[in-house]
Amino acid sequence: MKYGEKEIKEFDPDKDLEIWPNKHEKNYRIKITLPEFSCLCPRSGYPDYATMHLEYIPDKYVVELKALKLYINSFRDRYISHEDSANEIFDTLYEKLKPRSMKLVADFNPRGNVHTVIEIDSEEITKQR
């Protein structure tokens, strides 16, 4: 197994998803595009591909980008639905970062004539409560 495969296979978001202190008190928006997300369909085993668009206004923490890359790549061999993968990523990052606001858009490539986009927005969740 090559070192990158080992890092991805052994990645544990509880201990390996590095967060750093945010040194800035003002509101500013961080936008990250992750164009190579992949996972496996839990029903067929076929690969699913997506572009993840993450946007957040940090409070006390920001995510370290290499750790985020490894976390996202850790889904590639997992059997997980579009909805579950998007919600797991959002919940994990939201819990770790505790941002002022956060939005995740998971834009899955069409397969079988179906195109799925999942949007999760902390401001919408807050309105529902």
| 3-class secondary structure, 102 | strand
**Alpha-carbon separation of residue 13 from 108, 118, 124 (angstroms):** 23, 22, 25
**Alpha-carbon separation of residue 84 from 5, 29, 92 (angstroms):** 23, 25, 12
Q: Of 16, 41, 59, 121, which residue is the catalytic one?
A: 41
Active-site residue flag, 39? no
- Distance from C-alpha of 14 to C-alpha of 6, rounded to nearest angstrom: 17
Residue 75 per-residue DSSP state: T
- Distance from C-alpha of 30 to C-alpha of 100, rounded to nearest angstrom: 11
Residue 114 per-residue DSSP state: B
Active-site residue flag, 41? yes
Catalytic annotation, residues:
41, 48
